[in-house]
Structure 1
Amino acid sequence: MNDEIQRLQTALQAFAQEREWEQFHSPKNLAAALSVEAAELLEHFQWLTEEQSRSLPDAKRDAVAEEVADVFLYLLQLSDKLGIDPLDAARKKLQLNANKYPVERAKGTSKKYSEL
């Protein structure tokens, strides 16, 4: 596992232990919290046009960055609880997606792999 990811997971463990929060950090609860934070991230883009979503004002971008961090931190905690290396999982998933969406069939389309 990447050293930086491991250090961040260790810091998250210490943060939770200091507050006696481990009791609440079951995989189910962490997955639910992750979903809530992802919805809060999405909320910042609600009702924006495509163009507006691509050019956020600095204050909005900072708020989005905080939600990205929340999503990332919960994902790291969930990965830690389940013994999943998130970087390894991401690499494997990228390869699976490359197989599902070969360039010659997927280029320029948003169709799902089963529709290509």
Structure 2
Amino acid sequence: MVERVIATEAALQLIRELKAQYGQLMFHQSGGCCDNSAANCYLPSDLTIGPYDVKLGEVGGVPFYIGKQQYEYWKHTQLILDVIDGHGGTFSLEGNTGKAFHTRSRLFTDAEWSEIERLVALDLR
């Protein structure tokens, strides 16, 4: 099965550290406001997920969401959660660790996109 969002080992390590410190977490891919287009890490009680959000999957056992409008723009890509040195987003839990979550992407191949479309069609029945 094609995953819409994956994480590098560096991202998985930072997720483990944050989970040890905070417990349950969630990600939301920012649409560009304030922290630019970054994957922000939150406590589940810090952000309300609603009908305008799409769950892409999970990374390190943590749910990963994106706004529906932004999803339409990025739906043909696999998001790859990574970590860079620097300060995380001001809203994101890793903000004071000296590391920041960083989203990379790659286009799905034609075969992967066909599989995704087939699975979406099955979910709509």
Length-normalised TM-score, structure 1: 0.29
**Which structure is larger by alpha-carbon Rg, 1 or 2?**
1
Where relative contact order (Cα < 8 A, 6+ residues apart) is larger, the structure is 1
Flag the structure with higher strand content. Answer: 2
